[in-house]
Amino acid sequence: MSVRLSDDVAAHLKNSQELIPAIAQDFKSGEVLMLAYMNSDSLAITIETGRATYWSRSRNELWEKGATSGNTQKVISISLDCDGDALLLQVEQVRAACHTGKISCFHNPISLSTETNGKK
């Protein structure tokens, strides 16, 4: 698929040639589902198709979320942060977002120490 990022969107990115962190959030519950990375091609494809497409750093290739697993993400909205260096995708998640089978990739809590938890 040959899709190009519009000049308007590219102008708002801090650097359209670098990878940009993309947080996927369930649009109904607000739960943070996962963090992935996008490049200008994957962002352009996502905007064009409405299906979350990311850049795999390990495989060095584009990947559409759920293309092989069926755990798809329909993109409802995309927001760019104030610095132009992070994206928030509000998505309609089908089944699990995490490759482990969990709904969210953020299922490993880390306890704060008593002192940093507001108690002295």
Amino acid making up residue 86: A
Amino acid making up residue 27: F
| Residues written for the chain | 120
CB of 45 within 8 A of CB of 62?
A: yes
Angle at the Cα of 53 from the Cα atoms of 101 and 12, rounded to 5 degrees: 130
The CATH H-level superfamily of 7-93 is Phosphoribosyl-AMP cyclohydrolase (3.10.20.810)
55 three-state secondary structure: strand
**Which pTM does this prediction carry?**
0.87
Q: Report phi then psi at 98, rounded to 5.
A: -85, 145
Residue 85 has a pLDDT of: 94
Tens of pLDDT along 3-57? 888 888 888 888 877 899 999 999 999 999 999 999 999 999 999 999 999 999 9
Domain map (residue ranges) of the chain: 7-93
Tens of pLDDT along 91-104? 999 999 999 999 99
